[in-house]
Amino acid sequence: MQPKMILALGFSGICVAGCATRPSDSEAEGAVAEMIKASFKTRGQAAIDRLKQDDAQALCSRHSGELPKGASEEIEKAQQATLRYPSSGKLMGDWREGERIAQSGGGKQFTDDPARPAGGSCYNCHQISKQELSFGTIGPSLYQFGKLRGASEAIQKYTYGKIYNSEASTACSNMPRFGYNGVLTEEQITHLVALLLDPESPVNK
Amino acid sequence: MRIHRVLAGVVTAMLPCFAPAQQDTLKEIERYRQLLQESNPAELYEARGEDLWKTRRGPKNASLERCDLGLGPGVVKGAYVRLPRYFADTDRVQDAESRLVTCMVTLQGFTIEEAKRNPFSGTGAPMITTDPFSGVGQRSVMTDLVAWIASESRGMTIAPPMSHPKERLAYQAGERLFYYRAGPYDFGCVTCHGDEGKRIRLQSLPKMDNAKDAQRAFGTWPGYRVSEGELRSMQWRMWECIRQMRFPELEFASDASIALITYLAKKAEGGTFVAPAIKR
């Protein structure tokens, strides 16, 4: 292996960040716009217009990690204006249904059947019930979520709102805006609220 | 091979199970991985790829032995770790796969469509059953060739060139694409590969801005995926993550795919290339 390694190293006198001929921002932006047009194609339900960004997506992409001053508040305010609660006023559904939705990771991929309702893929990112050990860690643990916070109307509204549009309270959250983006229905979200808040839910045992 | 297939099938069948079973599955895969270290199933693909490289094919009845992967016509050793790179004849930055498409067209006389037709292999138990590139028993010339070309860089240092302006432009475009959030889940690559030590379910996610993670991520593809019983390429990995992002389909060997791979290769610079590796 040794001679190969030396040979390979010999080729790597490279600069990127400090190069004088670094492409300009507009050049790179133009290249990206071109690629977005030419490199993707509609397949099944995943149409090409999914690559068009809304204001929040564009801002969060441009300033990944560090938003300019005041931008977080601006995004959150605009996203709060999108919040819609069920007209019935009932925010808590059935936690058993909620558990099924939280487990299900499918939906909206070009390989998914568009006739089937999307899942929440919540376990992809969160610890939720104690029983499920296969959980992701992109989001915080939600185990005992209701036990710690209670199930007051304010908490129900916060939880429903977080699932409906996570960015109403956290600009550029890594959590999808499930209700606002039309991934989950009102009813599905109420089941998830129950999963997190119902004292009978395994989450709060 | 038969045994690998059967075992892989069993492992795949176990994957959707819930927690304790999944823990066991991971342990089982780990054990299986150890077993395979001695005889990596990727070797079969590599051997087929080497044959294909030397076989006269296409309307021009020519082999690929004069194909220029960046180090001169016919030089395969060390080529993969210096890709993607700029090629003057196409005036494009190309990765291994897109370059193979070029060679299949210019040397062998295939049409671009023919060269791109069957980019990913698919036998055993494909995870994506509606994937047109994956059918039971379907071999992919492209995958076999890439497996072999990659294997000829095993043990070498990842060193993508960045001296041509178009190489730097591809890197910058790739970086922007990496942070590009869109679609019904608001995902960008950065959602899942932007922080250290995160997981989706039990699958560890490399943080691509972290050299060690990026080196492992870039340096192990193409890889033989135990969960699919199949060898998969870096182009496939991009296609698959884009699918999970709920984006429209990423075109094989497209400029966006190459820009993303250029970005990853640069982030992985200096790491040791160990592919084709064995993956989950």
B81, B4: one domain: no
Query: How far are the Cα atoms of B72, B148, B157 from residue B77, in angstroms, in the given order?
Result: 11, 10, 12
- For residues B165 and B76, state if they share a domain: yes
Closest Cβ–Cβ partner in A32, A38, A138 for B254: A38
Q: How many whole angstroms separate alpha carbon A107 and alpha carbon A112?
A: 6
A40 contacts on B by Cβ (under 8 Å) = 242, 247-251, 254, 256
Whether B7 shows a pLDDT value over 80: the answer reads: no
Report how far residue B229's alpha carbon sits from residue A51's, in angstroms, rounded to the nearest whole number. Answer: 32
Based on the fold, state whether residues B11 and B74 are members of the same structural domain.
no
Minimal CA–CA distance to A167: which of A68, A54, A88? A54
* Distance between B278 CA and the closest CA of chain A, angstroms: 20
| Contact across the interface for A109 and B198, Cβ inside 8 Å | no
Per-chain mean pLDDT for chain A: 90
Given this model, what pLDDT does residue B32 score? 67
Domain hosting B60: range is: 41-279
In the structure encoding, which two tokens stand for residue A162, read together?
Answer: 């977080």
Residue A47 DSSP symbol: -
Flag if A28 and B249 touch (Cβ within 8 Å).
no
Task: Provide, as residue numbers in chain A, all residues whose Cβ is less than 8 Å from the Cβ of B194.
Answer: 64-65, 174
Does one domain contain both B25 and B47?
Answer: no
Give the CATH fold of the A44-205 domain.
Answer: Cytochrome Bc1 Complex; Chain D, domain 2 (1.10.760)
Using CB atoms and an 8 Å cut-off, which of residues 233-272 of chain B contact chain A?
A: 242-244, 246-251, 254-257, 259, 266, 269-270, 272
For A5-51, what is each residue's pLDDT tens digit?
333 333 333 444 444 456 888 999 999 999 999 999 999 999 999 99
Most confident residue range from A23-27, A158-162, B117-121: A158-162
B150 pLDDT more than 80: yes
**What single-letter DSSP state applies at residue B194?**
S
Q: Do B69 and B8 share a domain, yes or no?
A: no
Span B150-163, mean pLDDT?
Answer: 98
CA distances from B213 to A160, B49, B151, B218 (A): 36, 28, 21, 9
- The pLDDT tens digits of the residues spanning B202-217 come to 999 999 999 999 999 9
* pLDDT level of residue B45 (50, 70, 90 thresholds): very high
Q: How confident is the model at residue A117 (pLDDT cuts 50, 70, 90)?
A: very high
Which ranges constitute the DSSP H helices of chain B?
2-14, 19-37, 42-54, 96-106, 112-116, 141-151, 165-178, 189-193, 211-219, 234-244, 255-267
Write down the pLDDT at residue B137. Answer: 52
**pLDDT in the model for residue B26:** 67
Query: Tokens 């069948």 identify what position?
Result: B13
A51-91 pLDDT, tens digit per residue, is 999 999 999 999 876 899 999 999 999 999 999 999 999 99
* Out of A8, A41, A56, closest to residue B81 by CB: A8
Q: Does B66 score more than 70 pLDDT?
A: yes
Count of the separate structural domains present in chain B: 2
**Which chain A residue lies closest to B162 (C-alpha atoms)?**
A14
Same domain, B18 and B125: no
Q: What is the ipTM of this complex?
A: 0.92
Confidence of residue A140 (pLDDT cuts 50, 70, 90): very high
Is B241 labeled as catalytic in the residue annotation? Answer: yes
CA closest to A5 among chain B residues: B156
Residue A94 or residue B130, greater confidence: A94
- Considering only residues B140 and A184, tell me which one the structure prediction assigns the higher pLDDT: A184
Task: Mark out the alpha helices in B96-164 (DSSP H runs).
Answer: 96-106, 112-116, 141-151
- Residue A84 phi/psi, 5-degree rounding, is -130, 130
Residues B11 and B67 in one domain: no
Please pick, among B67, B189, B192, B241, the residue that the annotation labels catalytic: B241
Q: Is the pTM of this model over 0.95?
A: no
Q: How many CB atoms lie within 10 A of CB A107?
A: 22
